[in-house]
Amino acid sequence: MILRRKHGAWGLWCQRGAFSPFMFGLVMGVTIFSALSMQWAKKELERYQAKQADAAQRQAQDVAKAMEFAILTEGQDNYSEEYTLQRARQFSSAAAKTRGEQDFLLATKRERDSERFGRNDEKIAIAASDDTLLRSQVYRSGDVAELDKLRTNKASGVVVYDTSEARDRQIRTSIQRQEALAEQIYAFYAAEMKFPTLAEFTEMRRKFGLRDVWGDDFEYGVDPDLQQGFLSFTTPWGYVHEINLSLKEGAE
């Protein structure tokens, strides 16, 4: 009995410096579990961050759409080239705030080498991020191409809206209405063999109710002999689009 107890004690004593298979398996199991847990947590974090980025991107796009609507609903009394968050909020239900409760940053950039209809194209950068460095980059950047790079990176939360899309629509719609009124003037000429007098044109304009998109009347002028004239409109920023009215060969 004494020897067996000594032998047993000796056996336990001999195992004090060893690593038992049970403990090895336990440690390995914990290690593997920890690694898998970290991988899962990392994927969940990435998924959450992507979800947050998508939500911010959608809100920024909502602000861009609201700004477009604000431009397209301009009239005689509310034309503006100030593209602010306050203006966009009038036409959007989006909170337009970051996770840190900061207002979205809006910065307007003008493309000085690109001009259409008497104005340089302007782009609005909308930053839906708390990242101070990113917001500073958007605010200070004078390079439109650099903003476009940020726009293509959805994770940045930056949306770029080109105001020329709405301005071009305003011009095209005004030209369509102008041409429709010019057709009525030519129809008058076909019947009377002369262009209408100013009084006759005023009555014609009242009858058809055609104006430019800002609600202004088209301007009409005619020569004393009533054989040549013009029809024009002027945008709020000073661009003039004119149609020459004439049946002479070579007239525009």
pLDDT tens per residue, range 150-181: 666 655 678 999 999 999 999 999 999 999 99
Residues 153 and 224 occupy one common structural domain:
no
Say which residue the tokens 């940053």 belong to.
105
Count of C-beta atoms within a 10 Å radius of residue 102? 15
Of 127, 162, 197, the residue at which a domain comes to its end is: 162
Does residue 24 sit within a domain? no
More confident of the two residues 9 and 243: 243
Q: In percent, how much of the chain has pLDDT > 90? A: 48
Residues 94 and 198 occupy one common structural domain:
no
Of 141, 162, 183, the residue at which a domain comes to its end is: 162
- Above 50 in pLDDT, residue 39? yes
Mean pLDDT of 37-55: 70
Residues 56 and 113 occupy one common structural domain:
yes
Q: How many structural domains does the chain have?
A: 2
Question: What's 155's DSSP letter?
Answer: G
Count of C-beta atoms within a 10 Å radius of residue 100? 8
Residues 127 and 62 occupy one common structural domain:
yes
- The whole-chain average pLDDT of the chain stands at 83
> Which pLDDT score, from 0 to 100, does residue 18 have?
55
More confident of the two residues 140 and 6: 140
> Which pLDDT score, from 0 to 100, does residue 202 have?
96
Give the whole-angstrom CA distance, residue 174 versus residue 215: 10
- For residue 63, the enclosing domain spans 47-162
Residues 70 and 155 occupy one common structural domain:
yes
> Which pLDDT score, from 0 to 100, does residue 95 have?
83
Q: In percent, how much of the chain has pLDDT > 70? A: 75
Does residue 220 sit within a domain? yes
Q: What is the pTM of this model?
A: 0.75
> Which pLDDT score, from 0 to 100, does residue 24 have?
56
Give the lowest-confidence range in 5-14, 145-154, 196-205.
5-14
Instruction: Give the three-class secondary structure for 230.
Output: strand
CB 107 within 8 A of CB 161: no
Does residue 79 sit within a domain? yes
Give the whole-angstrom CA distance, residue 208 versus residue 3: 121
Residues 153 and 238 occupy one common structural domain:
no
Mean pLDDT of 19-41: 64
Residues 66 and 119 occupy one common structural domain:
yes
Does residue 19 sit within a domain? no
Q: Which is it for strands 219-222 and 228-234: parallel, antiparallel or unpaired?
A: antiparallel
Most confident listed range (28-37, 55-64, 83-92, 186-195): 186-195
Q: Which two tokens stand for residue 166?
A: 């709405």
> Which pLDDT score, from 0 to 100, does residue 232 have?
98
Does residue 128 sit within a domain? yes
Query: Residue 181 pairs with which residues in a beta bridge?
Result: none
- Above 90 in pLDDT, residue 190? yes
Residues 180 and 228 occupy one common structural domain:
yes
Residues 199 and 150 occupy one common structural domain:
no
Of 112, 130, 162, the residue at which a domain comes to its end is: 162
Give the model confidence (pLDDT) of 85-102 as tens digits: 999 999 988 788 888 899
> Which pLDDT score, from 0 to 100, does residue 10 have?
46
Q: Nearest Cα to 80, choosing from 105, 108, 61? A: 108
Mean pLDDT of 95-120: 86
- Above 50 in pLDDT, residue 12? no
